Amino acid sequence: MQNYHWTETNISSPLSKKIKQKLKEMNYSLTFTEIEGQLFNRMNKKKVNYFLTIKAKKQDSSDIMEMADFTPQSLVEEIKCSNLEDRNSFFEFVKFLENEFMQNNFVYKEESKPFLVYKLSCQKNEFFDFMFNPVFIKKWCDNFKKEDFYFYDNVILKDVCVKEDECVFDVKNGDHFYKCKFVITDDLYLKVFMERRNEFVSLFNALFTKMGGTFGFRFNLINE
């Protein structure tokens, strides 16, 4: 959902996965869960909101953990648990997740299986320069401009963060922004992790075709 400067990303799935895994590691068996989460972004300022309703029982123990409509504003005392060490540990974990989602260091949809895979003929640092360095972008995209967003003609990116072998960003399609991550392996496969939408196949193919034509590198789409 987008409303002027606001964008919203549904993080319910990765949030639920991480919480369930944590409780499993704490030897709790779930009897009921209702987990919803959103990541909000406004002018590059982020906040996380969530609602947790959980009932769980510790294996080989009488300890029970319960919470209802638990939110970022809730206190540790609102977690009902006879084992105070477990209660405090779980509360600290939830707060850790808040910060993790704020930094965008969360598992993208279908993280284990990329949406698209390309074989590149250029090096990692070259590709990221061609794609995200304004000095290079202007050589293949005449109308490129960088303000708060990256404007490549009709393609808009924001919150671009480039590391040694990966880059995360949001890409706009219609009225919505979608999370995306590029990962380049040592054998020069570019893996694209994001929500599966057919529009992005032609979008990335068009960008890579212009880049490759300018800088003389090849890319081959391995899957679709």
- The answer to whether residue 110 is domain-embedded is no
Look at residues 102, 132, 163 and tell me which one is the last residue of a structural domain: 102
Tell me: do 147 and 195 sit in the same domain.
yes
Domain boundary among 68, 102, 136: 102
Tell me, yes or no, whether 74 and 128 share the same domain.
no
| Residues 78 and 151 occupy one common structural domain | no
Model confidence pLDDT, tens digit, residues 26-71: 999 999 999 998 887 766 677 889 999 999 999 989 999 999 999 9
Asked if 127 contacts 219 with a C-beta cutoff of 8 angstroms, the reply is no
Which position has the higher pLDDT, 214 or 42?
214
Ordered DSSP codes for 50-90 = EEEEEEEEETTS--EEEEEEE-TT--GGGSEES-HHHHHHH
Q: In this structure, what token pair is assigned to residue 68?
A: 């209802």
On whether residue 21 sits in a domain, the answer given is yes
Q: Are residues 71 and 127 in the same domain?
A: no
Same domain for 121 and 161?
yes
Residues 98, 120 within the same domain: no
In a domain, 133, yes or no: yes
Query: What pLDDT shows up at residue 7?
Result: 63
Kindly state whether residue 108 falls inside one of the protein's structural domains.
no
Question: Which domain range does residue 70 map to?
Answer: 2-102
End position of a domain, from candidates 102, 136, 171: 102
Looking at the structure, tell me whether residues 219 and 120 fall in a common domain.
yes
Q: Please check whether residues 122 and 47 belong to one and the same domain.
A: no
Classified as helix, coil or strand, 159 is strand
Whose tokens are 């939110």? That residue is 71
Q: What is the pLDDT of residues 63-104, one digit of tens each?
A: 999 999 999 999 999 999 999 999 999 999 999 988 888 776
Q: What's this model's pTM, rounded to 2 decimal places?
A: 0.53
Residue 5, pLDDT above cutoff 60: no
Q: In terms of domains, do 73 and 134 share one?
A: no
Q: CA dist 190 to 83, 122, 135, 153, 200, Å?
A: 47, 11, 22, 23, 15
Q: What is the pLDDT of residue 12?
A: 84
The CATH number for 200's domain is 3.30.530
Q: Which residues of 39-63 are buried (b: 16+ CB within 10 A; e: fewer)?
A: bebeeeeeebebbbebbbebeeeeb
Q: Do 129 and 49 fall into the same domain?
A: no
Q: 96 by DSSP, 3-state: which? A: helix
**How many domains does the chain fold into?**
2
- Let me know the angle formed at the C-alpha of 121 by 119 and 123, rounded to the nearest 5 degrees: 105
Q: Are 145 and 205 part of one and the same domain?
A: yes
Backbone dihedral region for residue 214 (phi beyond 0: left; psi -120 to 50: alpha; all else: beta): alpha
Domain-embedded: residue 109? no
Give the helix/strand (H/E) hosting 10.
Answer: strand 6-10
Distance CA(110)–CA(194), nearest Å, equals 7
